[in-house]
Structure 1
Amino acid sequence: MESIWTWLKQISRRKPVRACGLALLVALGLDSLFPINTAVPYSTVITARDGSILHAFLSRDDKWRMYAELSDITPTLRDAILYKEDKYFYVHPGFNPVSMVRAAGRNLLAGRRTSGASTITMQTVRLLEPRRRTYLNKLIELGRAIQLELHYSKDEILQLYLNLIPYGGNIEGLKSASLLYFGKPPVLLSLAELTTLTIIPNRPSSLRLGVDNERVMQERNRWLNRFRTAHVYDETILIDALNEPLTAYRHEAPQLAPHLSRRLKAEQPGEPIIRSALSPGIQATAEQLVQNYANRIRVNDIHNAAVLIVDNQTQAVVAYVGSSDFRDPVDGGQVDGVRAIRSPGSALKPILYGLAFDAGIITPKTKLNDVPTNFSGYEPDNYDRQFNGPVTASFALANSLNIPAVSLLREMGTSALVSTLQKAGFSTVKRQAKDLGLSMILGGCGVTLEEMTRLYVGLANGGLVMPLTLTTPSDPLHPARNGGQKRAVESVKILSPEAAYLITHTLTQITRPDLPNNFDNSYHLPRIAWKTGTSYGRRDAWSIGYNRRYTIGVWIGNFSGVGVAELSGANTATPLLFQLFNALDYNSPNGWFQPPASPTSRLTTRLVCPETGDIPGDSCLNPVTDFQIMGVSRHRTCQHRKVVFTNAARTLAYCPHCRPDSGWVRRSYPNLTPDLVTFYQSRHIPFEPIPPHNPACERVSGMAGPAITSLNEGSEYFIDAAQPAELELGCQAANDVQLVFWYLNDKLYRRARPDEAVFFRPWPGQLKISCADDRGRHSDLRVTIKNE
């Protein structure tokens, strides 16, 4: 290595022309030994789908050094920079021997350095590898310039040069200067602005753009006159440029979509340009609406909001708002609410009902009981703490009733819902799968706004859940500079098109409790299908809606997890959802969802009994029309009434074993389930009870005994030994039961009506509880009583 440097020093003392030839040999010989490094740490720039810049980050070395692509170099820019710096750039091999001889002659005559002969290629080398200005270093730059010419095209070298030229401070590259001083990309610069940016790199410390614009303009006009003399541009264009004022000043770097920008930068480290799928107009509108709305609800101690907007046709995320104010350090503005794990409240119910449609368990007019129910110790309540008795499945979903949803999940099994959510890419549900129970349908699981919005995009697309697109497809010219997005889920069919349509049809109803209060006076209601959700403790408010064009997910709450009494999906999240749809797609021209097209569609209509939603039987006098999925929906004959043999006075009921030979009457009575009977009795709702069974009958019915609803099988109860509190016993019995008998450890404790609450004072130890009805049918359970 020392001999090489000694030789180079000797060469540097010879005549310039001879040095150029030797430098060429050196460059060719040392190219493989000392390859030139053109890897530069660029600023990461996030663009929208139209190419406009949304967000820019400092480079690793804290420079504003934005990557200019070849398309950013316009012919006007190329002509200006070549005329000023290197007229023969496209014909020389990296150095210009004529210029070098001329410069050497001038320097010798003057006895000092009066002019240089650096080409754009040599200046690029100097920017890549700064060195002191000596003849030796000049020779090294010359060799390196030849290396650049060997490996890169002229356009690529010019591009690299424009990406590195200094503009003072920590601004490097023409694209950075264009955005930070003129607030626009290079392709939109005028001739006067381009000329301004070509003259500053030679004197970045004396020509201070934005500080001494008058001096900069004088130098600019001097060069414009030189362009005029040389006829580089049309005369008219040059006159306009000379008369154009210079209004440049230091702008802030673009800072839109900060949460998505940080996410993409972390997912694609080192990429100078990441092309997001965001629409700049929709993003700006969403950010403004979210911030304004958050300012209004802050009076209720609600501080955070997040919004995700997806184009249903392309799966592209066109707006991504992670919080109401990214710059808010007090309320966690930098937390990404789109990816934060929260409780979904009731927002998962549409998927459960869709799965039940596809399983054939229900149709829209199937009757479900909304009555107080104990699910093995789990006793959910409705949001308004009211119960509605028998309701249709579509009513239960549109009104977000909890008891029917939990009953439906119990019938289907939690594994069916968990498996569907896992396939749809719910990562937290996948981790929690072993611990999830019936409460998950009311919010007892972890989800993100991104997962929930993607799920509803699947509803809008006929039950097909596909990956959301955060970035645009890769540029074939630069595949490494795009894409790279990790997919959380592959395309998966979670519902049939028929079930998805039935869900959309139900969620479009506007006669429902989750409309905002006084919405008629305050909001224009867009035509959308939507569902709300409010988590336990009022920590999370959700409202997710869709039409043919967009799906919008809204979450509102506090990142701290603090609940607020005023927080609800209907009154807190839905107004913002309506505002977003009204601003982006009010009265959408894309039409509305239609039933799946024949002949492949299995969605048809049929007549059903309005009492049960089943196929009409002999007792069904006024059938109604309902949807069904052919070959899937359950085909069961209605049994909402049953035949009972009674005496003429209707005071006794007979079974086939005790019915007398004469004197009996065949009558029809409501066939009510025990939980519905209990509900009617507790609310004093009149119904036609079946008379008590013939007490002389010695046969016991094969039906199950009363269902004990309190206490709970296998549970442990802790009591204060000094002052043990009483425990309540409760049951649900059939329509024909008049009395029940309670036993504690097989000893009769008390007789009571089926709807009567019975209390007892427990004692420590194992306790067997039995409940028998007046037909001799019984149920048992065992619990453990312990002292605290």
Structure 2
Amino acid sequence: MKTLNVKYCKSRKCRIILLAFFLLLILFWFSLPKQLFHDPYSTILYSKENKLLGARIADDGQWRFPQIKEVPKKFEKSLLAFEDQYFYSHPGVNPVSMGRALLQNLKAGKVVSGGSTVSMQLIRISQKGKSRTIYRKILEMILAFRLEVRYSKEEILALYSSHAPFGGNVVGLEAASWRFFGRTPNELSWAEAATLAVLPNAPSLIYPGKNSEILQRKRNGLLDKLYRVGEIDSTTCELAKLEDVPRQIHHLPRVAPHLLDQVHKKNRGERLVSTINFGLQNRVNEIVKRHQRNLEANQVYNMAVLVVDTKSRKTLVYVGNTENTGKRKHGNQVDIIRSLRSTGSLLKPFLFASMLNEGEILPNTLVADIPTQIAGYSPKNFDLRYNGAVPAQKALARSLNVPAVRMLKDYGVERFHFFLKKMGMSSLNRPAGHYGLSLILGGAEGSLWDMCGMYVSMAGILNHYNTDDGVYYSNEFQALGYTGDSIQWKNPDSQAFLKASSVYQTFEALLEVNRPDGESGWRSFSSSQKIAWKTGTSFGFRDAWAIGVTSDYVVGVWAGNADGEGRPGLTGVGAAAPIMFDVFDLLPKSEWFQQPVDEMELVPICRNSGHRAGRWCDQVDTLWIGRSGLETNVCPYHKQVHLDATKRYRVNSDCEKVDNMVHQSWFVLPPAMEWYYKKRNPLYRPLPPFRDDCVGVAESQAMELIYPKSNDRIFVPVGLDGKREKIVFEIAHHDPNTNVYWHLDGEFIGTTCGNHQLEIAPGEGKHLITFVDEEGNSLSKRFQIVGKQEHQLNY
């Protein structure tokens, strides 16, 4: 007997058999594509609690959620009881089921049973409904074997559950669960799981809402089977049968539709778990709806709200716009949070902080608030009034425009432009000269996303300084996010682009609740916690802003019309701030920021001027300031004056003996500042005049009225349009190139330089016109506008 050589196959027949075997093995191995499905998926957005915020339909018009990783137990038990009871035992094909199906089909004379396993059905689904022939059946069996080699049983179940048809344009368990029952697959009852388990078997026949009796009969049959195999008890089975089958399609949630749009642009066809707080988002949505009804009365239709965690820089609430509530659309699809709008006064705190940081001001440094004209640009305060001089932090709290413009002029537009870009204002895509001084008053556009990010960065600087022992990070100015990826803080350093002390003093200034008289609505706001907040109103009442900051949260609000239409009375205080405070009421209370004492010093400060106390400052307070504030000048407004014994007149050595003089410290503002300041500050004492016998100190008259010269009663005819014509007033000034500020009845009406003429149209009656130059010299004239009849009687 010959010994069989099992190591070598030398015969030609043997080699052919081995070659054929290896070819078949290779063919078998590569018979299954690397990726079974190439279908587009819906874009799915979840909250941080894994609750559905919204979804966008797939590009092929199907509701097909991205593949799930794990199949819920109720659906798994129901599916396997209905389709493949021995799924975990067979290698992809069940010979017993195939044999039974063959006998049933032969006996019936037609196909009544397929005998396909879940694995075979998954292969058929991936083949996109190709004809069901014997050849295809054999191929499905081969590919099912291959499928079992590549994937685990759990992975096969997940693939099948994610791609099975459930009727209409609904594909996959997760989409079906939401569309038919309005909940996640994990929340399905036994009746609902059983309903979905029978649907892929004939999705075109028993689509929910059609043939409900068939659907209910199949579901109940499956529930009985689940009871027989011991998966559910009799009580559960009977109660489940009492549940109705789905008869309508559920709309998917639209909790954060505008954030979903952002996700769809960047993560198309993916499942994204965001940092949105589901409960908080819904409650803010309700706040927006409530305020929307109020604002619509003034034909204001759009608003947006953003809430950010200052520690993680992650978004907790994203309300991109209001919902459309009527037949007419008002741009509700526009994501306002990402839209560029005029920033109004929102940038003023950054100028204040940067000037503190550079040692150019102290918190209470007096800033001029007088009529101002710079290269043809003439800013106005909201209330069209002037204070003469105002402490810098009070100017910030009251959002005064003129001081802000003058501060920016001193600081430099180029420097501030660079500062804002460093802070994260991405919309500054033009040179600084393009914006000019209007940059501080809304001359540049910004988004609510960037604005909140910049305020969050300031809060982050202060938080890090206090929690990390005075450490700054190179990536402090971090963009906001809405995914769960944590920020890695880089390159700790003791140096900083913006110091914590400057941020702290800025936030302290923003705690003040002193707003312009024209914005009286602020008085109704109250909170049980400290909130640094800033409002903004753009030119033409087009944009109303409010942003509030605590150590834990930043809340940003915008209100207006998406198409840019302005509305009377649309202000940050009146429209946006109430929403902001309502949102803060939903948030956990925050502790106020810790003072960065290690970066600050106690310094004597002049009470009247806010500067470091100089030699002649008589009222001094010791206050905390940032160390950079030590570089500021000492008080320039206090000086020593010499008075006579009565203290009513100033004197000099030409008219009074030095021994008889009274030497006294006096707070003296420049003339133009003084003229307005003394109206608002009754305790301000102008310098006494020089005594008549003092030589060489008499002031000469700087201005003279040219027209009208002497007639106090002026007749102004009415034009053809029924309106009274204007009068041209003219004055002469000893320095024609100086600025002269005109006031009618106490209200500022304009500035002239060179040619001191101005057209005015006062109404009938008595008036007072006042002219004030840059040196504080003033000239006033009373006059009366009379009607036609009175004018004739005077002749």
Normalization by structure 1: what TM-score?
Answer: 0.77
- Opposite residue 80 of structure 1, the aligned amino acid is S
Report what 1:590 is aligned to: 590
The more displaced of 677-686 and 404-413 is 677-686
Give the aligned residue type for 1:472.
G
The 5-angstrom pairing of residues 523-534 of structure 1 reads 527-534=530-537
Amino acid at match of 1:290: V
Q: Secondary structure at the match of 1:223?
A: helix
2:174 corresponding residue in structure 1: 175
Output one character per residue of 1:609-629: Cα deviation in whole Å (capped at 9) or x when no partner: 112223333432221232211
Would the alpha carbon gap of residues 652 and 615 (structure 1) be closer, same or farther in structure 2, given more than 3 Å must change?
A: closer
Shift of 1:337: 0.6
Stretches of structure 1 that go unaligned for 5 or more consecutive residues are: 1-20, 475-482, 484-491, 699-705, 707-724, 731-739, 745-754, 763-770, 775-788
Is 1:149 aligned to residue 130 of structure 2?
no
Residue aligning to 1:471:
483
CA contact (8 A) 1:607 1:616 kept: yes
Q: Which residue of 2 aligns with 1:364?
A: 363
CA RMSD of aligned residues (A): 3.9
Change (3 A) 1:677 1:302: same
How far has the Cα of 1:376 moved from its partner?
3.2
CA deviation after TM superposition for structure 1 residue 70, in Å: 2.1
**Residue of structure 1 in register with 2:41 after alignment:** 42
Instruction: Report the residue type matching 2:626 in the other structure.
Output: I
Letter in 2 for 1:249: Q
Q: Is the 8 A contact 1:307 1:338 kept in 2?
A: yes
Q: CA contact under 8 A between 1:726 and 1:761: conserved in structure 2?
A: no
- Alpha carbons 2:504, 2:595 under 8 Å: kept: yes
Residue 179 of structure 1, CA deviation: 0.8
Aligned runs of 1:554-569 on 2, under 5 Å? 554-569=557-572
Describe how 1:320-469 pairs up with structure 2 within 5 A. 320-325=318-323, 330-462=329-461, 464-469=476-481
Q: Which residue of 2 aligns with 1:232?
A: 231
In 2, Cα distance between equivalents of 1:575 and 1:773: 43
CA contact (8 A) 1:166 1:173 kept: yes
CA distance, structure 2, for counterparts of residue 384 and residue 569 of structure 1: 15
Instruction: Check 1:639–1:666 CA distance in 2 against 1; reply closer, same or farther (3 A cut).
Output: farther
Q: Secondary structure at the match of 2:318?
A: strand
The aligned counterpart of 1:189 is 188
Instruction: Kindly provide the CA deviation profile for residues 538-597 of structure 1, in whole angstroms up to 9, marking residues without a partner as x.
Output: 111111112233211111111111211211111111111122222x12xx443222212x
Unaligned residue ranges in structure 2 (runs of 5+): 1-19, 463-475, 488-494, 703-726, 738-749, 758-772, 777-795
State the Cα distance separating 1:454 from its structure 2 match: 1.2
Which residue type is aligned with residue 621 of structure 2? V
Change (3 A) 1:294 1:628: same
User: Aligned equivalents of 2:33 and 2:729: distance in 1?
Assistant: 87
C-alpha separation in 2, matches of 1:644 and 1:511: 35
Determine helix, strand or coil for the equivalent of 1:255: coil
1:78 is matched by which residue type in structure 2? E
- Separation in structure 2 between the aligned mates of residue 756 and residue 267 of structure 1, nearest angstrom: 53
Equivalent residue runs for 1:671-690 within 5 Å? 671-677=668-674, 679=676, 687-688=686-687
Kindly tell me: are residues 503 and 556 of structure 1, through their superposed partners in 2, closer, same or farther at Cα, counting changes over 3 Å? same
**Aligned match of 2:618:** 621
Instruction: Say yes or no: does 1:633 pair with 2:641.
Output: no
C-alpha distance in structure 2 between counterparts of 1:183 and 1:67, whole Å: 17
Write the distance in 1 (CA, Å) between the matches of 2:457 and 2:517.
22
Displacement of 1:439 in angstroms is: 1.3
1:436-490: CA deviation from partner (whole Å, max 9, x where unpaired): 211111111111111111112223323543221212239xxxxxxxx9xxxxxxx
User: SS state of the match for residue 427, structure 2?
Assistant: helix
Match of 2:602 in 1: 605
- Displacement of 1:519 after TM fit? 5.9
The amino acid that maps onto 2:532 is A
Counterpart residue identity of residue 291, structure 1: K
2:541 maps to what in 1?
538
1-structure distance, mates of 2:399, 2:564 = 23
Separation in structure 1 between the aligned mates of residue 291 and residue 485 of structure 2, nearest angstrom = 34
| Residues in 1 aligned to 2:140 and 2:432: alpha-carbon distance in whole angstroms | 63
Give a deviation string over 1:520-546, Cα, whole Å, max 9, x none: 668767642211111111111111112
Q: Match for residue 122 of structure 1?
A: 120
Question: Comparing 465-474 with 192-201, which one deviates more in the overlay?
Answer: 465-474
Contact 2:383 2:517 in 1 (8 A): no
Question: Who is 2:472 aligned against?
Answer: none
CA distance in 1, matches of 2:173, 2:517: 54
Alignment of structure 1 residues 128-143 onto 2, 5 Å? 128-129=126-127, 130-143=129-142
Alignment-mate amino acid for residue 481 of structure 2? T
Instruction: Kindly provide the CA deviation profile for residues 261-304 of structure 1, in whole angstroms up to 9, marking residues without a partner as x.
Output: 01111111232x12221111111112221122122111212121
Query: CA 1:537–1:559 in 2, change beyond 3 Å: closer, same or farther?
Result: same
Contact 1:462 1:501 (8 Å CA) reproduced: no
Q: How does 1:478-493 map to 2 (within 5 A)?
A: none
**In the alignment, is the contact (CA less than 8 A) between 1:85 and 1:120 conserved in 2?**
yes
**Residue in structure 1 matching 2:110, options 103, 109, 112:** 112
C-alpha distance 382-115 of structure 1, shift in aligned 2 (>3 A): same
Q: Secondary structure at the match of 1:552?
A: strand
State the match for 1:307 in structure 2. 305
In the aligned structure 2, how far is the partner of 1:512 from the partner of 1:638? Answer: 27
1:130-174 CA distances to partner (integer Å, 9 max, x unpaired)?
111111121232333344334333222211111122222111211
CA drift at 1:336 = 0.9
Q: Tell whether the 8 Å contact from 2:452 to 2:547 is kept in structure 1 after alignment.
A: yes
Which whole-Å CA distance do the structure 2 matches of 1:519 and 1:500 have between them?
23
Amino acid at match of 1:581: F
User: Contact conserved, 1:308 with 1:554, CA < 8 A, in 2?
Assistant: yes
Matched, 1:741 2:734: yes
Tell me by how many angstroms 1:646 deviates.
8.8
Q: Aligned letter for 1:76?
A: K
Q: 1:327 and 1:604 mapped to 2: Cα distance?
A: 56
Q: Classify the secondary structure of the residue corresponding to 1:379.
A: coil
Q: CA 1:742/1:664 → structure 2, altered by over 3 Å: closer, same or farther?
A: farther
Displacement of 1:198:
0.5
Amino acid paired to 1:310:
V
C-alpha deviation, 1:375, in angstroms = 2.5
List per-residue Cα deviations over 1:640-666 (Å, max 9, x = no partner).
2334679999989879xx999989968
Question: What's the CA shift for 1:416?
Answer: 2.3
| Aligned residues of 1:372 and 1:679 also touching (Cα < 8 A) | no
Question: Once the 2 structures are TM-superposed, how far is the Cα of residue 87 of structure 1 from its aligned partner?
Answer: 2.6
- Alignment counterpart, residue 573 of structure 1, candidates 572, 576, 588: 576
Query: Matched residues in 2 for 1:317 and 1:41: separation?
Result: 28
For residue 429 of structure 1, give the secondary structure of its aligned residue in structure 2: coil
Percent sequence identity over matched residues? 33
Q: What TM-score do the two structures reach when normalised by structure 2?
A: 0.77
**After the TM superposition, which of the residue ranges 45-54 and 460-469 deviates more from structure 2?**
460-469
Q: How far did 1:681 drift?
A: 9.2
Write the distance in 2 (CA, Å) between the matches of 1:520 and 1:36: 64
* 1:302–1:27 distance in 2 versus 1, CA, 3 Å: same
The C-alpha deviation readout for 1:173-230, integer Å capped at 9, x for no partner, is 1111111111110001111211111012212233342445444333222111122222
Q: In the alignment, which residue of structure 1 is the partner of 2:296?
A: 298
Q: Which residue of 2 is the match for residue 504 of structure 1?
A: 507
Once residues 26 and 50 of structure 2 are traced to their aligned partners in structure 1, the CA distance between those partners, rounded to angstroms, is 39
Instruction: Assess, with a 3 A threshold, how the Cα gap between structure 1 residues 154 and 648 changes in structure 2: closer, same or farther.
Output: same
Query: Relative to structure 1, is the Cα distance of residues 689 and 28 closer, same or farther in structure 2, using a 3 angstrom cutoff?
Result: farther
**How far has the Cα of 1:432 moved from its partner?**
4.7
Helix, strand or coil: the match of 1:364? coil
